[in-house]
Amino acid sequence: MQRLPLAKYTATNIIIWGCILSCMAATTNWAGLMVVRTFLGIFEASVTPGFALFTSQWYRKHEQGARTGLWFSFNGFAQIVGGLVAYGIATGTNSGQAALAGWRIMFLWTGLTTAVFGVLLFIFMPDNPLNARFLSPKEKVYAIERIRVNQQGVGNRHFKKYQFIEALKDPLVWAFLKRNTDSRHGAISSMLSSLISPTEGLPTSSRFLSRDSDIPPSSHCCMGPLAGQLKW
């Protein structure tokens, strides 16, 4: 990510991520599922860091919190919309109107949608303000001057080993890792429909239950952008 064009690298990973997600629909056993899921995680891992770098390239430090909260909140919104789509798919498959199982259709839909978004990102997202086609030369200078206060530039292609070691020794890094493995953006939200379904005995309605469980966290994420606009 540090040595390659940011937008092109991130977009390529999103496209591959979407294609691999679609391949989940072709799995027939646990081993195949785990293999595909492993590669899915590898390519998905660069997305959030990439978006964080995009944010730092275009906004000053005091503006980044609100913008990060805004795009991160769409994790919850995607789960809500996904619950509605899953309900529609489940209703269609239960009535015998589909040639594929509902879960396979869901993986195909989410995977192909992700890949299309990656293509759009590859085409339209600039790697940094200097090569943004929608900015004039004068506007590019203004964009760089805006973030001068960050004292970080718009990209550094040199890997600094001491910073990597320092990050490994930082307890906050490990706390953030722990938080992301078992929180709103982790396994619980991804597998909630499956967890609810056996208990309720109503696989179709479980899609609505999992959707409802995403509303409070999504609302909480939206408070980030609002809080970022307040002056304390």
**Contact between 221 and 75 (Cβ < 8 Å):** yes
Q: How is 169-193 classified by DSSP, letter by letter?
A: H-HHHHHHHHHHHSSTTSHHHHHHH
The number of folded domains in the chain is: 1
Mean pLDDT (whole number) for 186-192: 53
In a domain, 24, yes or no: yes
d(CA 232, CA 224): 14
Q: How far is CA 66 from CA 20, 154, 178, 223, in A?
A: 31, 20, 23, 9
In a domain, 32, yes or no: yes
Which domain covers residue 217, as residue numbers?
6-228
Q: What digits encode the pLDDT tens for the residues 100-114?
A: 887 888 889 889 999
In a domain, 37, yes or no: yes
pLDDT at 62 over 80: yes
**Contact between 49 and 5 (Cβ < 8 Å):** no
Neighbours of 58 (CB within 10 A): 18
Q: What digits encode the pLDDT tens for the residues 196-232?
A: 444 444 455 555 555 555 555 555 555 655 555 555 4
In a domain, 115, yes or no: yes
In a domain, 186, yes or no: yes
In a domain, 78, yes or no: yes
pLDDT of residue 160: 81
* Position 57, amino acid: Q
**Contact between 210 and 59 (Cβ < 8 Å):** no
The CA-based angle 203-205-209, given to 5 degrees, is: 110
Q: What digits encode the pLDDT tens for the residues 1-23?
A: 677 889 999 999 999 999 999 99
**Contact between 84 and 211 (Cβ < 8 Å):** yes
In a domain, 1, yes or no: no
Supply the DSSP symbol for 133: T
**Contact between 48 and 21 (Cβ < 8 Å):** no
pLDDT at 58 over 60: yes
